[in-house]
Amino acid sequence: MTTLLSGTQRKENTRRGEDMNIAIIGTGYVGLVAGACFARKYDVVCVDIDAWKVDSINDGESPFYESGLDIVLDDSLHSGRLRATTDIFDAISASDLVFICVGTPSLHSGAIDLSFVESAAVDIGKVLADIDDYKIIIQRSTVVPTTTRDLVGGIIERTSGKSVGRDFGIAFVPEFLREGNAVDDFLNPDRVIIGTDDKNVANILGELYRDFYPELPDDNILFMSSESAELVKYASNSFLATKISFANEIASLAELISGVDVIDVMRGVGFDHRISPKYFGAGAGFGGSCFPKDIKALIDFARTKRFEPLLLESVIKRNEFQAMHIVDLVEDAVHSLKDSKIAILGLSFKPNTSDMREAPSLRIIAELIERGAGQIIGCDPQSIDDARKILGNRIRYTLNPNDALKDANIAIVLTEWDEFEKLTPADFIENMATPVVLDARRIYDCEEFSKVLKYIAIGKRIID
């Protein structure tokens, strides 16, 4: 039987510390990593509308490749603290904290598509309408400022007939994990940002994170409004993407100056503790599910405020230019694009993930095809299934780097997988029709390679 309590009593009865139960809505990279990791300490129920993902999780198999996730998932399932379901009522009624981790993709205009967040908020509202317990709803998907308070809070209030602050609490807590390193990033964050004006919610979430991260200094748990927290997430990703575009700009300049190597330059610059060497490598450009989409969403959001964000626009343009630049280098290096076999080493946007979203390989392959490239073969240890869904039979695929190199006229390194780092100049020379390597990730030793084959490196002028 449900006990009828006043809003204040319900709040005070909220379980604290290790007794808290968690529901996670959306089991993509963010939701599943959070669910599997939180389940080390708390009871967690993950919800997804995709029954195949739910079954896969309950069977102990991550629906996507993410380094180290299978082990955490396995431990959490065996401890009995984690389960997945498609039944949101079951998940929310068993939980104190409800994290919304659904996708927020880009619309064609670049604006953020909030339809998944809206529909999750409606679903949560419907559950809250039927139960009396106080819940805290934590918006975890990246959203533009004011979304948590106005859109999510507003929808839940309207759908449930309950009041935010009294019957349920709301907060925005951004996720900063990097795909490929997601488990470690989740377990060892630099900081936790708790965005809420509700003191009760701030206290409970403060306790949760202090309990879950006992090693994290108190000063690294930051409290602010949900709007500031929403902007922290966008500003962080925009800044990291800006560093990458900046490195690519300096790399292109370096390629025009004999004796300069962008690796040395950025190391020299990054040693300044005000700058830091991280995310400062020149390469094929940034990609993935977050940087391009988040910067475009922030640009669109700025324009709704009648502000033209010149720097952010340049960061995107510079990133798109890098793909064109790489194809220019290919065109210069081969006799004819039409008659060449091109081996692409690496399709995923970075190593240790199968994620193909906004991968530089997609921009580069599209441009190669546009310019008439005859034969392209893509090699990747994890992302071929996902790549095939996007590129279909416009290219061929292989798991084996030596197969990719067979009779090729140029090999382009686009992802720094270990499998490619292990290749020696002999692998290229023995397999390729014309051994030409365009190293867009700078994984090979310039001197060793350029002595025995035609080696082109982003950010370094190599004299034949």
Q: Give the active site residues.
A: 290
- Pick between residue 57 and residue 432 the one whose CB is nearest to ligand NAD: 57
- Write the interaction track for ligand NAD spanning residues 192-231; mark x where CB under 6 A is met and - where it is not: ----------------------------------------
Q: Which H, E and C letters describe 389-449, residue by residue?
A: HHHHHHCEEECCHHHHHCCCCEEEECCCCHHHHCCCHHHHHHHCCCCEEEECCCCCCHHHH
Among 21, 85, 106, 142, binds ligand NAD (CB under 6 A): 142
- Pick between residue 13 and residue 119 the one whose CB is nearest to ligand NAD: 119
C-alpha to C-alpha distance for 37 and 34, rounded to whole angstroms? 5
For 456, phi then psi, to 5°, come to: -115, 130
Question: Is 119 a residue that touches ligand NAD (CB under 6 A)?
Answer: yes
- Pick between residue 103 and residue 285 the one whose CB is nearest to ligand NAD: 103
Question: Is 120 a residue that touches ligand NAD (CB under 6 A)?
Answer: yes
Among 53, 149, 350, 363, binds ligand NAD (CB under 6 A): 53
Question: Is 326 a residue that touches ligand NAD (CB under 6 A)?
Answer: no
C-alpha to C-alpha distance for 179 and 190, rounded to whole angstroms? 16
C-alpha to C-alpha distance for 215 and 193, rounded to whole angstroms? 16
Q: How many CB atoms lie within 10 A of CB 235?
A: 13
Structure tokens at 407: 């009779």
Among 101, 127, 156, 221, binds ligand NAD (CB under 6 A): 101
Of 54-62, 77-85, 114-122, 423-431, the segment contacting ligand NAD by CB under 6 A is 114-122
Contact 45, 24 (CB under 8 A): yes
Question: Is 83 a residue that touches ligand NAD (CB under 6 A)?
Answer: no
Question: Is 179 a residue that touches ligand NAD (CB under 6 A)?
Answer: yes
Question: Is 151 a residue that touches ligand NAD (CB under 6 A)?
Answer: no
Q: Give residues with Cβ within 8 angstroms of 402, minimum separation 6.
A: 427, 431
- Rounded least distance, CB 190 to ligand NAD, Å: 14
- Write the interaction track for ligand NAD spanning residues 280-309; mark x where CB under 6 A is met and - where it is not: ---------xx-------------------
Contact 456, 441 (CB under 8 A): no
Scan residues 379-418 and list those touching ligand NAD (CB under 6 A): none
Q: Give 206: exposed, middle or buried? Use CB within 10 Å, 0-12, 13-18, 19+.
A: middle
Contact 376, 342 (CB under 8 A): yes
Contact 141, 105 (CB under 8 A): no
Of 25-33, 203-211, 302-310, 368-376, the segment contacting ligand NAD by CB under 6 A is 25-33
- Rounded least distance, CB 49 to ligand NAD, Å: 5
Of 10-18, 45-53, 364-372, 415-423, the segment contacting ligand NAD by CB under 6 A is 45-53
- Pick between residue 241 and residue 405 the one whose CB is nearest to ligand NAD: 241
What's at 380, amino acid-wise? D
- Pairing assessment for the beta strands 341-345 and 43-47 based on DSSP bridges: unpaired
Among 5, 49, 111, 216, binds ligand NAD (CB under 6 A): 49
Q: Give me the residues paired with residue 221 across strands.
A: 192
Among 116, 168, 301, 417, binds ligand NAD (CB under 6 A): 116
C-alpha to C-alpha distance for 337 and 335, rounded to whole angstroms? 7
- Closest residue to ligand NAD using C-beta atoms: 28
- Rounded least distance, CB 412 to ligand NAD, Å: 25
C-alpha to C-alpha distance for 103 and 64, rounded to whole angstroms? 15
Of 3-11, 70-78, 119-127, 199-207, the segment contacting ligand NAD by CB under 6 A is 119-127
Q: Give 152: exposed, middle or buried? Use CB within 10 Å, 0-12, 13-18, 19+.
A: buried
Of 24-32, 214-222, 326-334, 430-438, the segment contacting ligand NAD by CB under 6 A is 24-32
Number of residues that bind ligand NAD (CB under 6 A): 27
For 457, phi then psi, to 5°, come to: -125, 135
Q: Give DSSP secondary structure letters for 201-226.
A: HHHHHHHHHHHH-TTS-GGGEEEE-H
Structure tokens at 220: 């690294």
Q: Residues interacting with ligand NAD, by CB under 6 A?
A: 25-31, 47-50, 53, 101-104, 116, 119-120, 123, 141-142, 175, 177, 179, 289-290
